[in-house]
Chain A
Amino acid sequence: MKMESWPLPARLFTLRNRRDMRVSISEHGAALVSWWAPDRYGRMADVLLGYQDDSEYADNNACLGAVVQRAGGAPRLHAPSWRGELDVGGAGLRLRPADLHGAGPGLAELEVRYDLDDEGCLSVTYHAVADSPALVNLSTHACFNLNGGQADVGDHMLQIDADRFLAIDAGGALRDTEVSGTPFDFRRPAPIGPRLNWPHEQIGVAGGFDHAYHVGAGSGIPRPVATIHDPGSGRRLQVSTTEAGLHFYSGNRLAGVAGRGAAPYARHAGFCLEAGASRVQRDGARAAGLLLGPREVYRHTTVYRVSLQP
């Protein structure tokens, strides 16, 4: 009898800190399931979109919270079944060799770690090793709503440290573009909702924001790239990353997704700020790819910090 081939029930790991925060991670898709955090008044709410039942993360059509591969435009669900373990301060999840092929060809190892500290920082660290050339651009499709779902994210005030973004041309080709003079200019904090109403063809192309920003050169240490806060609850999310790219998605296709709430999600019910490799090159052309050679190691750390807007 081969016990290991039996599908083991996926487990849910919960990280806690001294601010009463609780972050849950599922073995299904290594998904970030929920993040309970206090608002200005100490009221706890889940700032992540997700499903009612953990089993729903097994197919996860909307990729909510899942570790994804961003090769083309849309996020692709990576692999459904991870095995994880809880240790001091965090949880580490790996793909078993048998499941690695689902993550794409060429990978020998793949691990994601989630660590929560007392300052409200959730570090997401990705680690991959290839045995033959592999395309790797990992990210987490964590879909946030800082007011806990009381309203959509239109009033959230977003700030992204980026001068350039990738406009989407007809046929899906990407074009390196300056943010200035466009609704994509979030160098100073601006509400998402009104920006969706600025007259600009790129908003029409994606039905909102679904674009990659270039947030500087990649580095070994995470550096702050974006901040977003909700005026009502006072909750703030800060994003730091080692990566050069940040994909901003304003929840344009969330309408009808059956999540945790009584009613299905509405359009713009959440937003994603996904760090990953940038395809903006100095010459404006698309990078050849994010190819990992044999025995090469891929490392990426993104830190999400939830706190209060001072």
Chain B
Amino acid sequence: MSMPKTRRIALLFNGNKIFDREVITGIADYLSSTRTHWDLFLEEDFRLRLSGIEDWQGDGIIADFDDPTVAATLANARVPLVATGGSYEDPADYPASVPYVATDNFKIIKLAYEHLIEAGLRSFALFSLPEARENRWAQEREKAFMALMRRDRMEPAVFRGQSTRAHTWDEAVREQIAWLHSLPKPVGIVAVTDARARQLLQACTLAGIAVPEQVAIIGIDNDPLARILTRIPMSSVIQGAQEMGRTAAHLLDQMLHGVRLPNTRILVPPSGINVLASSKHEPAKNPHVMRARHFIRQYACQGIKTDQVAGYVGISRSSLESHFRQELGYSVHDEILRLRLNAAVAILKQGDCHLAEVALKCGFTSSQYMHSVFKRELGCSPRSYQERLRSSSDAQEATIG
């Protein structure tokens, strides 16, 4: 029986980064599970160097194409090559004719964003990085965030800040604090990496901003080092990096057996979220009440009824009512009315309007009904409430004048 042929494979990664290490771990896992014999070529200090790679006499390469220099150097590689990197919104941005295994940037941001929504946040922002050739993934994450904001009809708040350098450190932190102060509170912030999230947590501490009550933060990478360096345990999205490594190894293995895969592109979704204190916005609240209020906040003005709220939460109307009584001391219907009333008051503050229209806009079945709710809750009719507002603002103007 002949020994299987040993192949010489180069792994071009920066093993000092957690993400790259995880990809390499996945490759190693594939090799040990398949008893595939590959002699791995890696730099002694696990750092990526490219000098002479064009002339390297090997059988195959798996390389990190997030680094444009790597991509350019390997453009004419004659050995079987599998690329890894981030996903792109525009298909034209992928390298041509190379099998590519990507971390799905859109799904990463979507997972982080939806986590913040479920944690009860209503305002969102993204903390990114200054644009650079090496971090196109950060721009892709910005694009994903913008797309989600557009989908949900919100203004995207994206801050790139400065890259971290010793001599501009203080200025960078000042800018971060100013940005944090400028955001409406409470706000949920997605940081494009854990390192970025950690800086923001530090800025919050310096500025005396409560995390997660005022600013909830989630990073990306689930980097244990970044987690150790923060006082508030930091939430993070776990990328499918190991599976990327296994997938890339499988593709290269197939190519070494003569399978041609020039247009294969496999996107790997994130594998989970590590939810810790930095994003647990409303940890103590009854989850059903939280869900119900989330729904009511969105739809109170569209004439919803208690049954629909219970249906959304997925429990019976009577148990939802009892959770409400226990947690808030009032009924689901009261909460709906409270939000309708707030919405009506906000419109009345703007000045002249038809009461019938206001009632309709705010989900009241009629202007008579709105009238009676005003009477009961505020002790006056909508019109006299509006007059009161007007006279008080007149009085204010008089004082200022």
Contact = CB atoms under 8 A, between A and B. Distances in A.
State the majority secondary structure of interface residues on A.
loop
Contact of A42 (B34, B273, B288): B288
Given A43-B287, A180-B34, A181-B36, A190 B243 contact: yes
Given A157-B271, A190-B246, A232 B114 contact: yes
B291 interface: yes
The bracket for how many chain A residues form the interface is: 20 to 34
A198 B247 contact: yes
A187 interface: yes
Contact of B315 (A20, A41, A183, A199): A20
A44 B288 CA distance: 9
Contacts of A51: none
B184 interface: no
B250 A198 contact: yes
Contact of B275 (A40, A42, A198, A229): A40
A309 B111 CA distance: 15
B303 interface: no
Contact of A45 (B36, B266, B273, B314): B314
Interface string A170-200: 0000000000110101011111011001110
A195 to B, nearest CB: 8
A248 B268 CA distance: 20
Contact of B268 (A181, A183, A188, A194): A194
Given A188-B242, A188-B246, A194-B247, 4 more contacts: A36-B314, A38-B287, A42-B286, A194-B267
Contacts, number: 89
A194 B243 contact: yes
Nearest 3 CB-CB pairs, A to B? A42-B287, A44-B314, A181-B34
Contacts of A45: 314
Nearest to A44: B314
A181 B36 CA distance: 9
B118 A41 contact: yes
Contact of A197 (B107, B253, B266, B272): B266
A84 interface: no
Contacts of A180: 33-35
B297 to A, nearest CB: 15
B259 interface: yes
A208 interface: no
Interface in A18-74: 20, 36, 38-46
7 contacts: A42-B290, A155-B107, A155-B269, A188-B246, A197-B264, A199-B259, A231-B270
A45 B312 CA distance: 9
A133 interface: no
A199 B254 contact: yes
